[in-house]
Amino acid sequence: MSLAVAKQPEPVLEEQWKQMTFDEAIEVAHRETGISYQRDDPVLAVVAILNAFGERLKGLLEDERKRVSDQFQNDVSGVNEAIDHKVNDVAATIHKVAENLGNDNIQTVVGAVAQHAIETDKITRTIRKAFYGFSALAFTNWMAVAAFYLILR
């Protein structure tokens, strides 16, 4: 029942890094500032520096993604093992209960419930009979009190 081995996750699509070329940098600088640059202008060294920074950032991001992915897989496999252990424990317990509850035990429980229903009916009838008797005695008692009242009046 191990889910950790079942299916490997699909990798996340890799980001597309589009570096700026010198010609694009010259065009953007001219559009934004109105200043024209040539390909051999030292100011364009910033483009090369930023492109190198982007490559380094891309490498760091890939390393971090791999580390997080490995950590996630380790955590998930641990959780899967714990869940598998609990499911196996529950299955074993259910199996033991099923073995202990055979057909004879079920018939015994059904018989006990039926006997309980019969005894409950007997008690209910006895209480009703007693209630009618006590009601008659209470009525007679009140009649006697009324008779004494009328006699003593």
Q: Is residue 1 part of a domain?
A: no
At position 72, the amino acid (one-letter code) is F
Instruction: Read off the pTM.
Output: 0.38
Local structure of residue 43 (DSSP, 8 states) = G
How far apart are alpha carbons 81 and 88 in whole angstroms? Answer: 10
- Count how many domains the chain has: 2
Structural domain including 84 reads: 15-100
For residues 63 and 109, membership in a common domain is answered with no
Full pLDDT tens readout for the chain, 153 residues: 444 444 555 555 555 667 778 788 888 888 888 888 787 888 778 877 888 888 888 888 888 989 888 888 888 888 788 888 888 888 888 777 777 766 667 778 778 888 888 888 889 888 888 888 888 889 999 999 999 888 887
For residues 109 and 142, membership in a common domain is answered with yes
